[in-house]
A and B are shown apart, each in its own frame.
Chain A
Amino acid sequence: MSNPKAVTHDHLVDVIDLKKVFETRSGMLTRAFSRDRQPVRAVDGITFHIDAGEGLGLIGESGCGKTTTAMLLLRLIDPTAGQILFDGLDLTSMNTRELRPVRRRIQMVFQDPYESLNPGKTVSSLIGEPLVVHRLTSGRRDRESRIAEIMEQIGLVPTEEYLKRFPHQLSGGQRQRAAIARALVLEPVFLIADEPTSMLDVSVRAGILNLLQGLRDEMHLASLFITHDLALARYMCERIAVLYNGKIVETGEREELLTNPIHPYTRALIAVASSLSDFWARKQEMITELDTDWIQLPEGCCRFHPRCPHEHGDCENREPDLVEVGPKHWVACHRT
C-alpha cells in the first residue's frame, strides 16, 4: 500500500492500518435464526500520523468510526489489527502494566462533561485523581498547589470558590474546563478531544475552543480533534482527515482541503456546511443517496460507491488506496 505511512520517526503518533471489528455477540438461538450477524468493521484500516505540536482534525458523521479510533488510540479497546506507534513505542503490543506510563502522556477530553466527571467527587479531587493515580506529587500540599495552578491555567478562578464544588454545581462550560484540567494536569504531549464542545451552549463554545488552542501552543501539545463540524476543524487544526465508514477518504492541510476537495464525499460535506440552499440546488451532482444506514459492504469495494454520483466500474470491485495528489494531500478515489 502506498499510504502516507512512510514511517519516519519524527512523527509523534503513527497509526498504521488500524482495524477494529466488533463481533456481534449472540447466543446460540440468535445465531441459528438471525439473518444479520455480520461483524461490524467500525475502523477498517486507517493510517495517519501526527507530529509533535500538530493538530489533526478527524471529520466524519456519527457511526463512521471517529470515537472508536479515539478509544483505540488510548487502548481503551483492543485493536483487531494494525499498529499504533507513539513516540517510537508500539502501543498495540503493550500490556496494561506497560501502558500505564504511556497513558500519562496521552490524554483525552470527552464529549459529554456531564458524563465524564464522577458526580460524587469535588473539583479538587477530580483534578487531583490523575496525580494520585500516577503518584506524581509528593504529599497533599504539593498536590493542592498543583491543582490550584492548573485551575488558574484553565480559568476556573477564583480557585478556592470552585475547589470544593461538585460537578452538578458547575455550568456546562465550567465542567468541560474541569475535564480539560484533569487531562492536562498530567502534562501530556498528545491530547485527544472528542467533540469537546458539542454538548455545550453556543455562547460558551468559543471559550473552550480558545482555551484548548492556547494550551496547545503553551504546552506544545499534539492533538487529535474529533468533530462532525468542518468549521470547527478548520478553527482548531492544521490538517484535516475525512473519515467515511471506517476509512480515511481524504486528508490534507486545512485550507487546501477546504478549497480544493477532491473526494466526492468531502465535496458534499463542504457544500452542506457552506450553504444549504446552494447544496439543495446542486444536490444531484454531489451525492445520490443522502440517507443510508451504514451499509456493511463486502470487502474490496469503495465504501462510498452506493452514494457516489459518478459512475465508475472499478469502484465496486477494487478498494481505492490513498494516493498523494498534492503536497500532504491524499485522496482515496479511483477517479483521481
Chain B
Amino acid sequence: MSTSRLREILKTFRRNPLGVVGVSILCAFLFVTVFADVISPYDPYERVGKPFEKPSTTHLLGTNDIGQDLLSEMIHGARISLGLGFVAATIAMTIGTVVGVVAGYAGGIVDTILMRMVDIVLVIPFLPLMILLAALLGPSFWNLVLVLSVIIWARPARVIRAQVLSLKERGHVVAARSTGGTVAHILFHHVIPAVLPLSLAQLILATRTTILIEASLSFLGLGDPISKSWGTILYYAQARSAFLTGAWLWWILPPGLLISAAVLGFAFTGYALEETVNPRLRGRR
C-alpha cells in the first residue's frame, strides 16, 4: 500500500471519535501486556498470601483460593487472553483472505466450492462444535487457537471475496490484464494490496470475537487450565463459589470488565477502520 493512501486513511480515521477511543483502549492493553512482569506486584503462580483474602493494600484485589494475588493474575491474564485471541484471529484472517481472494478472482467452480464451504462453516452452531472439538483435542493453548481459527475464517472470507469481485471489474485491474500481466502479478500488485486494509479491519473485528469465545470456552473449563487467561480466572472463581460470597466483587467483576473493555476496544477500532477503508460505509453516518 502506498504511503499517500496510508496517510489518507490515518487522516480519516483520526476524525472518527469511536476509533480514537478504541485505539486508546487497545494501546493501554498493549502496554499492560508488554510490561506485565514489571507492573504486576507479584508472580501470579506463587502463593503470596493467605487463601481468600479480601482486598487490602498488600493485595489490591485480594487473593484466590490458593493464596495467589488476583491483580497479578489479571495482568498476566491479559497476555494469554489477548495473545491467544490475536494469534487465532491472525491465522483465521490469513485463511479468510486467501480463500476470499482465490474464490473472488478465480470465479466459476472454484468460487462455488469455496463459498459452499464457507456456508457450511457459517451455519454450524459453533458453541457445540467448539465444545466437541475442545473436548476431543484436549485443552491446550494451540488446540484452542486451532479451534478458534477453524470457526472464525468464514465471515471475513465472504467480505474479502465481495471486495475482490468488485475489484476484478475495476478499470485498473482490467488494464493490467490487458498489458499481459500474469495472474500472480495482478493478484500481488493490484488485488491483494487493495484488500489488505479491509483484511486488517476484519482482523481486528475477528480478534474481538476470538477473545470472547476464548473466555467462554475457558469459563466452561475447556481452556488450558495451566495458563491463566481471564476466562480461566472466571472458571476458578465460579468453581470456588465466588458468585455466592462477597468475593464476586473482586474476583469476578474485574476480569468481566477487562473482557468487556478489550472487546469494546477491538470493536470500536475495527468498525472505525472498516468505515475508513470502505468508503461506501463512510457516508452512512
Contacts and interface: CB of A to CB of B under 8 A. Distances in A.
Contact of A76 (B170, B172, B174, B193): B174
A192 B5 CA distance: 31
Nearest to A112: B171
Interface of B: 1-2, 4-5, 170-172, 174-182, 185, 189-190, 193-194
A73 B171 CA distance: 17
A100 B171 CA distance: 20
Given A118-B190, A166-B4, A107 B172 contact: no
B179 A118 contact: no
B2 to A, nearest CB: 4
Nearest to A169: B4
A101 B1 CA distance: 29
Contacts of B180: 99-101, 103-104, 130, 133-134
The interface residues of chain A, by DSSP majority, are classed as loop
A133 B4 contact: no
Contacts of A114: 171
A283 B10 CA distance: 58
A183 B176 CA distance: 10
Contacts, number: 66
A110 interface: yes
Interface in A120-153: 120-122, 129-130, 132-134
B177 A76 contact: yes
A121 B2 contact: yes
A207 interface: no
A116 interface: yes
Given A115-B172, A120-B194, A133 B179 contact: yes
A100 B184 CA distance: 14
25 contacts: A74-B178, A76-B174, A99-B180, A100-B180, A107-B178, A110-B174, A110-B175, A114-B171, A116-B172, A116-B174, A116-B175, A117-B172, A118-B176, A118-B189, A120-B2, A120-B194, A122-B2, A129-B179, A129-B189, A130-B180, A133-B185, A134-B180, A166-B4, A179-B175, A186-B179
Contacts of B189: 118, 129
Given A112-B171, A116-B172, A117-B172, A166 B2 contact: yes
Most buried by A among B171, B174, B175, B194: B175
Contacts of A117: 171-172, 175
Contacts of B5: 119-120
The interface residues of chain B, by DSSP majority, are classed as helix
A330 to B, nearest CB: 29
A146 to B, nearest CB: 15
The range of chain A's interface size is: 20 to 34
A120 B193 CA distance: 9
B170 A115 contact: yes
B179 A120 contact: no
Contacts of A20: none
Given A116-B174, A120-B2, A133-B181, 8 more contacts: A74-B178, A101-B180, A107-B179, A108-B178, A110-B171, A115-B171, A117-B172, A134-B180
A108 B5 CA distance: 27
A127 to B, nearest CB: 11
Interface string A165-186: 0100000000000010011001
B176 to A, nearest CB: 7
Nearest to B189: A129
Contacts of A103: 178-180
A186 B175 CA distance: 14
A133 B176 CA distance: 9
Interface string A66-108: 0000000010100000000000000000000001110110011
Contacts of B179: 103, 107, 129-130, 133-134, 182-183, 186
Interface in A263-308: none
Nearest to A117: B172
A108 B175 CA distance: 8
A134 B171 CA distance: 20
Contacts of B4: 120, 166
A146 B181 CA distance: 19
